[in-house]
A and B are shown apart, each in its own frame.
Chain A
């Protein structure tokens, strides 16, 4: 049970997008970590731009630079200008200035939102191979680097292009919450000189390697927080479902009313005909019975996607902890 990894996003074997693998340089990883550490403590989300190039079916990310936070005082701050200037300057020092994506930090795994969808869509529309890197600092602090790369599936791209978020549109494209994002496997690659540097660091560094990963607390705040957010989302979801239910009830009621009205009309018409009077004009039924507004389906999809990611992180966490508990049992078994 612990080892079966249910993929809520399509596995890498069935990727039909132009990017099958992402190669990141160690430098980028360090920069992202540093950016969150220094600037991300207050607000929840830090963002930045990824630079690199595309090689065959691999996307290589070779550098990145952070985006300043949005503050209210900086109303005249021009994001585009900042980006342009930064890229121009980086080009002078021979850093790849090709925009290949963006990164964002997340809070306990909650990143499936409308804003992310829109940003990723505009990126992917402009540059076909772009990805969004989601960095989870809290999970990383627990012992293992949590960095995931996502792209929108082609089906979702189509829907966003049409801007058709209604139920029919989604049904047509057959997009479920599992098909929204596809995860691209990441590989870290370092150049030779950086390897030399890593050897140096290992010699010189006196910081003992932390074994956070082996800490046994199952009731850690991480699990609690994740479950809490999961519950909030499920609440949202149920509200959404209630809305949809009322909508469908209204529609069916309206259908009935329409039906009744038509029947009455027909009856009257036959009566009138039998009496020899001209039949009543056929009124425009649709004007009389305005169909109720269907609730937006996109939100449901997003919430479902978010719930899915929460569930996955929770399951990962529990499987790790079960492993640790069994190890502890083995140790105690030895002792006693």
Chain B
């Protein structure tokens, strides 16, 4: 890892390259050094120097691979973060909190989080560390396998204070992950980004901290998938609400979804046949598979299968109705 030589504070015409885990160029700007003078002095943080790389790097990121662990996030974590952002104190511009999860060889899975009260002003930041420790202990009692793997902050940029907080968290966990959730929608959408910190600079003279981005993936349990699907429905209703539907309506809903998908596929096929869209062989192969999957069952066999299944279900319904009548009778005779 190489950093540019200690240069002069204030002349930023030369672009400094720092190859870290991302191999990207820095476009950070050093503000006026509080100590005055033109050269970097002293180790971080006394010189209050931190490189804000995130904002500059992201546009390059989509094209290049990022080295480092993959961060797998469960949607419940981001929902929690959004919720604590909505409940923040008056005057606080962002919230921070701890991330809990499990560490794997190549990935980090974030499964839980809790917010930590903190105060932030221009020159100082105070984090309630007692609180963080207590909460972690309480959470440990429920899920003993979760460990502190990092921390989160809402907002788009990485500020100086973030560096300090990151330092605190490095004491709690090795190689903590920093997650930013852009709740203020500064970039037009709610982007969730993760970073690892890496030291940089000339050892002994000027050191800094660089936040290298990591790739973020969302992972779901099966049941979470279904829960999220239900929540998606609230997007479309005007009052943002949605009741829990009952048996047949759910089947109807699923069938309607499948129907929609089929009509999309049909529209595509029509377009291809009419020559509007060039045919894609792989899509064609998928379509072949799809059509093959529908089983060709001779009519009588299908009839027998259908009837036997229907008979089973009818019998079960009859028996359950019978049982219910029985217990109602029993109640009338015995209790009342």
Which residues in A have some Cβ–Cβ distance to B below 8 Å? 1-3, 5-6, 8, 23, 25-27, 29-31, 33-39, 62-63, 66-68, 77, 82, 85-86, 89, 92-95, 137, 140-141, 143-145, 147, 167, 170-171, 174, 176-178, 185-202, 204-205, 207, 209-214, 218-219, 223, 227, 230, 234, 237, 241, 244, 297, 300-301, 304, 307-308, 310-311, 314-325, 327-329, 331-332, 335-336
Contact A304 B86 (CB under 8 A): no
Please indicate the chain B residues that have their CB under 8 angstroms from the CB of A33 in the complex: 76, 221, 223-224, 227
Contact (A191, B240) CB under 8 Å given A25-B83, A68-B141, A325-B309: yes
Please indicate the chain B residues that have their CB under 8 angstroms from the CB of A335 in the complex: 294, 296
Please indicate the chain A residues that have their CB under 8 angstroms from the CB of B247 in the complex: 5, 316-317, 319-320
Closest residue of chain A to B295, judged by CB? A332
17 A-B pairs within 8 Å (CB atoms) are namely A26-B234, A31-B80, A33-B224, A36-B223, A39-B142, A63-B83, A92-B131, A93-B84, A188-B243, A194-B83, A198-B231, A213-B250, A241-B330, A318-B320, A320-B250, A327-B255, A336-B299
B106 contacts A by Cβ under 8 Å: no
Please indicate the chain A residues that have their CB under 8 angstroms from the CB of B142 in the complex: 35, 39, 66-68
Please indicate the chain A residues that have their CB under 8 angstroms from the CB of B191 in the complex: 200
Contact B251 A323 (CB under 8 A): yes
Contact (A315, B320) CB under 8 Å given A193-B183, A214-B255: yes
Closest Cβ of chain A: how far from B80's Cβ, in Å? 6
B302 contacts A by Cβ under 8 Å: yes
Contact of B335 among A82, A170, A204 (CB under 8 A): A170
Please indicate the chain B residues that have their CB under 8 angstroms from the CB of A26 in the complex: 79, 231, 234
Question: How distant is the Cα of A200 from the Cα of B83 in the complex, in angstroms?
Answer: 16
Contact (A318, B317) CB under 8 Å given A85-B138, A307-B327: yes
Contact B334 A300 (CB under 8 A): yes
Contact A329 B299 (CB under 8 A): no
Contact B78 A188 (CB under 8 A): no
Contact of A34 among B183, B221, B229, B321 (CB under 8 A): B221
Question: How distant is the Cα of A170 from the Cα of B234 in the complex, in angstroms?
Answer: 43
Contact A86 B335 (CB under 8 A): no
Please indicate the chain B residues that have their CB under 8 angstroms from the CB of A177 in the complex: 327, 331
Q: Mark B145-189, 1 if CB is under 8 A from A, else 0.
A: 100000000000000000000000000000000000001010001
Closest residue of chain B to A189, judged by CB? B241
Interface of A is mostly: helix
Question: How distant is the Cα of A145 from the Cα of B232 in the complex, in angstroms?
Answer: 13
Closest Cβ of chain B: how far from A330's Cβ, in Å? 10
Contact A38 B111 (CB under 8 A): yes
Please indicate the chain A residues that have their CB under 8 angstroms from the CB of B255 in the complex: 214, 327
Closest residue of chain B to A83, judged by CB? B138
Please indicate the chain A residues that have their CB under 8 angstroms from the CB of B248 in the complex: 2-3, 319-320, 323
Question: How distant is the Cα of A197 from the Cα of B252 in the complex, in angstroms?
Answer: 27
Contact B254 A85 (CB under 8 A): no
Question: How distant is the Cα of A230 from the Cα of B316 in the complex, in angstroms?
Answer: 11
Q: Mark B81-119, 1 if CB is under 8 A from A, else 0.
A: 011111111000001000000000000000110111100
Contact B218 A201 (CB under 8 A): yes
Which residues in B have some Cβ–Cβ distance to A below 8 Å? 74-76, 78-80, 82-89, 95, 111-112, 114-117, 128, 131, 134-135, 138, 141-143, 145, 183, 185, 189-192, 218, 220-232, 234-235, 239-248, 250-252, 254-255, 257-258, 294, 296-297, 299, 302, 306, 309-310, 312-314, 316-317, 320-321, 323-324, 327-328, 330-331, 334-336
Question: How distant is the Cα of A170 from the Cα of B336 in the complex, in angstroms?
Answer: 8
Closest residue of chain B to A24, judged by CB? B244
Q: Give the most central of B183, B240, B252: most A CB within 10 Å.
A: B240
Contact B240 A192 (CB under 8 A): yes
**5 additional contacts, CB 8 Å, given A141-B226, A189-B240, A336-B302?**
A34-B74, A185-B243, A188-B234, A190-B235, A331-B294
Contact of B224 among A37, A186, A192, A307 (CB under 8 A): A37
Closest Cβ of chain B: how far from A311's Cβ, in Å? 4
Contact B258 A144 (CB under 8 A): no
Closest Cβ of chain B: how far from A85's Cβ, in Å? 6
Contact of B242 among A36, A187, A315 (CB under 8 A): A187
Contact B134 A188 (CB under 8 A): no
Question: How distant is the Cα of A310 from the Cα of B294 in the complex, in angstroms?
Answer: 34
Please indicate the chain A residues that have their CB under 8 angstroms from the CB of B235 in the complex: 190, 195, 198-199
Question: How distant is the Cα of A150 from the Cα of B83 in the complex, in angstroms?
Answer: 26
Contact B79 A27 (CB under 8 A): yes
Q: Give the most central of A1, A144, A214, A304: most B CB within 10 Å.
A: A144
Closest residue of chain A to B132, judged by CB? A89
Closest Cβ of chain B: how far from A245's Cβ, in Å? 9
Contact A209 B225 (CB under 8 A): yes
Question: How distant is the Cα of A202 from the Cα of B228 in the complex, in angstroms?
Answer: 9
Contact A189 B234 (CB under 8 A): yes
Question: How distant is the Cα of A66 from the Cα of B332 in the complex, in angstroms?
Answer: 41
Contact B185 A196 (CB under 8 A): yes
Closest Cβ of chain A: how far from B121's Cβ, in Å? 19
Contact of A171 among B82, B117, B336 (CB under 8 A): B336
Closest residue of chain A to B298, judged by CB? A336
Closest residue of chain A to B137, judged by CB? A85
Contact (A29, B220) CB under 8 Å given A68-B142, A213-B254, A327-B255: no
Question: How distant is the Cα of A209 from the Cα of B254 in the complex, in angstroms?
Answer: 11
Please indicate the chain A residues that have their CB under 8 angstroms from the CB of B227 in the complex: 29-30, 33, 140, 145
Question: How distant is the Cα of A137 from the Cα of B223 in the complex, in angstroms?
Answer: 7
Contact B323 A311 (CB under 8 A): yes
Closest residue of chain A to B297, judged by CB? A332
Please indicate the chain A residues that have their CB under 8 angstroms from the CB of B334 in the complex: 241, 244, 297, 300
Question: How distant is the Cα of A328 from the Cα of B313 in the complex, in angstroms?
Answer: 15
Contact B87 A93 (CB under 8 A): yes
